[in-house]
Amino acid sequence: MNPVAQGFLDRVRAEAQAHTDLSHLSQWVVRNTRHPKDVTKRWNWRGHEFQKDIVNDSASEVDVRKCSQVGVSELFARLTLAYLAVKQNHTAIYTLPTAAFAAKFSKSRLDPIISASPTLSAMVPSDSDSASLKQVGRSFLHIAGTFTQGAAISVPADMLINDEVDFSDQTVLTTYESRLGHAEEQKGGKGLKRRFSTPTVGGFGISAGLDDSSQARYAVKCNNCHQWVMPDFFEDVVLPGFDDHLIKLEKQDITERHLDVSKAKLLCPTCKHELTARNLADPDKRQWIHARPDHPRHGYQVFPYDAPLISSVGHILSQLEKYKRKADWVNFKVGLDYEDAETSVMSEALSRAFSVRPVLPNPGAADGCVLGMDVGKTCHIMVGKRINSARMEIIHAETVRQDISKGENAVVLRVSELLENFGCSRAVIDAGPDFSIALAAIDAGLFGQVYANYYTRNAPSELSNLRVDPVDQILKSYRTGTLDHMVKAINTGRVYFCRSEEKETITNHLRALKRVSKPGASGEDVAQWISTDADHYGHALNYLMIADELNANSLAGNVIGVLPMASSVKLKEINPKRDGYDYARKSSYPA
């Protein structure tokens, strides 16, 4: 049949069905798109049969956590074009981490699919076909980045596809989601959201989405025991000569112990016989099984052996030697989230660290301490004492709610009490979102005792994470660098916590901090600490550690912008800068 006529019949069939019924799209892709390596042949699902159910899934939200090189990006490129071809007068937005990635994807993935398809070629006019916008019949596709983009595209959308979720700007992704709401209001339908990514850390991005989903796994029927099983990479892959749990395998184990990764096997979890490549590649013995089939959000976990014709488990293990960080290998080659001492505060380290007797904040309770405070409607405060170069003890932690109903700020009054009771030589206070708290605390303390901190995205210099203005008592601290230092100190057993009623909250806040890499403006990877939940005590501790660094630098005489010695005379009170304080200037430091 003529491709244009076939396309018309497909659109009529689609419009006769419910708005969200996508059960026919896999057939449309086969009929109307070509194989990327041989355009004389139609597209087929051989070796990628797991993709068919994902394409046909009509759930409003679908999340796919996947390993690399299993064709998921190619899948969603075809899905998007197929959706727009059969659902006319619809709009889709396809996002990638950066605008540069988006442009490359448009030219290298979308354009070849369109040019090889007579149906799509006839629907895409040349005068409205660019890297960022494509017209498909009466529908439109916007392709955009999340970083390097001032704001999300302000157009209503019926479908939103987020490629590489974990490496995208999460705030911009949320803004894009609001565009689906506009489409729902206008058409009375239900917008479709599709998200997929290689993962980074647990509780974030695509892993958080999969956790809150139907959690489907691509099961296999074992040729030996004839049971439907769902093998797990680290539980069911065995490597001869390595008897420990596979998650503990390091690249030096392979080289130093001369392990032959080509002999690695994937075993059936039930009968422990090998699940051969032939068994795994038989589509009649594979099916998706949802752990929570009634969940409205559908989620899929894709392992490398779900596309067994691409690579063996032995090949996956051999790739470990090519990655600088084990976490990257687990994320990209296995398709699972992973945390280590570089990316998280480890649970084992925290379980050992809560061993200090708490000190009550009474007058004369201690001396020589430092204080850190994270500011919010509820402020989180930590007080610590340096015991020696290898031991910092957190002796007190508490929260204080802001209350100025009586004309005085309860937070500032409490900070003043703690500074006096614990004999604090330095305190660092979050300068945002309310700089007035830090300013008032500076005024209430001795000169050089309290500093207001602004996080910056870049290190002030190659030699320091801090830039100090000793006159105004302002700090600019490199957010990533200081948090790196804090987390390393905890994981290496150099920070100890008091056994107080705040223990569980402190643990949860510290565990919520995760280090991920994201693309920078120039395409290079940039490390950044993100939060998977509330993290206030984590930042309070970071400010405390910065205060401790100020003390150390002051004693060594190498603070950037020399810190004056403490004086019994509060010289700042006669400093003209305190008259007509320029709040706008002070709040203009970069976040």
pLDDT at 494: 98
Least confident of 63-72, 119-128, 381-390, 489-498: 119-128
pLDDT at 557: 45
**Alpha carbons 275 and 439: distance in angstroms, whole number:** 65
570: pLDDT confidence band, cut at 50, 70 and 90?
very low
CATH of domain 3-37+53-211: 3.40.50.300
Tell me what percent of the residues of the chain surpass a pLDDT of 90.
73
Residue 13 corresponds to which tokens in the numbers above?
């069939």
Q: Do domains 3-37+53-211 and 347-576 have the same CATH topology?
A: no
Beta strands in 172-266 (DSSP E): 192-197, 216-221, 228-229, 237-238, 265-266
Return phi, psi of residue 11, to 5°: -70, -40
3-state secondary structure string across 52-109? HHHHHCCCCEEEEEECCCCCHHHHHHHHHHHHHHHCCCCEEEEEEEEHHHHHHHHHHH
Q: What is the largest CA-CA distance in the chain?
A: 93
CA distance readout (Å), 168 to 101, 162, 211, 285, 532? 11, 9, 19, 36, 15
Per-residue pLDDT tens digits for 72-106: 999 999 999 999 999 989 999 999 998 889 999 99
Nearest to 459 by CA among 479, 488, 489, 474: 479
Residue of higher predicted confidence among 460 and 4: 460
129: pLDDT confidence band, cut at 50, 70 and 90?
confident
Q: Residue 14: pLDDT above 90?
A: no
Q: How many CB atoms lie within 10 A of CB 583?
A: 11
Please state, rounded to an integer, the average pLDDT across all residues of the chain. 87
Contact 397, 537 (CB under 8 A): yes
Return phi, psi of residue 189, to 5°: -95, -165
pLDDT at 434: 78
Per-domain residue ranges of the chain: 3-37+53-211, 216-290+303-332, 347-576
What radius of gyration do the chain's Cα atoms show? 29
pLDDT at 179: 81
Q: Residue 579: pLDDT above 60?
A: no
**Alpha carbons 67 and 50: distance in angstroms, whole number:** 13
Q: Residue 467: pLDDT above 80?
A: yes
Least confident of 28-42, 288-302, 348-362: 28-42
CATH topology of domain 347-576: Nucleotidyltransferase; domain 5 (3.30.420)
Residue environment code for 508-520, b if the CB has 16+ CB neighbours within 10 A, otherwise e: ebbbbbbbbbbbe
Residue of higher predicted confidence among 406 and 229: 229
